[in-house]
Homo-oligomer: A and B are copies of this chain.
Amino acid sequence: MNTKQYCYWHPHPAVTTDIVLFTLREEKLQLLLIRRRNPPFQGGWALPGGFVDLDEDIADCAKRELEEETGVKNVYLEQLYTFGKPQRDPRERVISVAYYALIPSDRITLKPASDATEAAWFAFDELPELAFDHREIAEKAHERLAAKLDYSTIAFQFLPKQFTLSELQNVYETIRAEALDKRNFRKWILARNLIEATGLERRNGSHRPAQLFHTKRPGRVEIIR
C-alpha cells in the first residue's frame, strides 16, 4: 500500500493521547517515560501515548497505548487536558488528549512491552529533557494530582488494598512535598469515614507492628469534603 489512503474535504489534525503514569517508589513521586525509537526526538524520553484509532474511544486509546508500551493495565485513568498548539509536533498538526494514571506501588513491575520499547521510572523532580511539550503535560498532571488529594479519595490509588496509616500519610506528604503532623493527619482521615481497620497488622521490622486499613469503597475515586 503505497498511496495516501485517507482523504478528506477539509484538513484534519492527527489526534493522539499521552499518558502521565504516576506511582510512588523509593519515597518519591515517579512517572513513567519511554524512549522514542523514531524521529522526531529519536532516542529521547517521552510520555507513553499514540494515535487514536478511528473507531476507538479516546480513553480506550490511552488504556491501549499504556498497555502496549508498558504492560500496565487496570489503573486509575482520568482525562487531564487537551494540548494542541499548532507547532507542538514538527511533523504535522497533532492534537493530544492527555490523561494521567496512577498505579499502586505494589504493581509497578514493568513487563517490557510487546514491542520492546524501553521504559523507565523517573522521579518527578528529576525528569530528563522530554520530547514535544511533554514537560508541560507532566507539570499540569502533577498540579491536578496535588489539588485532587485535598478534595477526593485519589490518594488510595497509590496504595495496595491494605495499607497502614503511615503509608497513607506518606502519599500525601510525598505528593505535596511537605511534612504533616501524624496525630492531626490520623484525626482528619478517620473523621472522613473512608477507611476502616481490617483487624490485621503488619510486622515490618524491629518495631511496633502497624494496623492494616482498607477503603470502604475500593476502586472508587470520590469527591470528599
Contacts and interface: CB of A to CB of B under 8 A. Distances in A.
A82 to B, nearest CB: 5
A11 B14 CA distance: 8
A6 B12 contact: yes
A6 B13 CA distance: 10
Interface stretch (A32-40, A52-60, A102-110, A122-130): A52-60
Given A8-B12, A79-B82, A95 B58 contact: yes
> How many of these chains are in the complex?
2
A7 B14 CA distance: 12
Contacts of A4: 7-9
Contacts of A13: 12, 15, 52, 54
Given A82-B97, A84-B97, A7 B10 contact: no
22 contacts: A4-B7, A4-B9, A6-B10, A6-B11, A6-B12, A7-B7, A8-B8, A8-B14, A10-B14, A12-B13, A12-B15, A13-B52, A13-B54, A15-B15, A15-B95, A54-B86, A55-B86, A57-B85, A58-B95, A79-B82, A82-B82, A84-B97
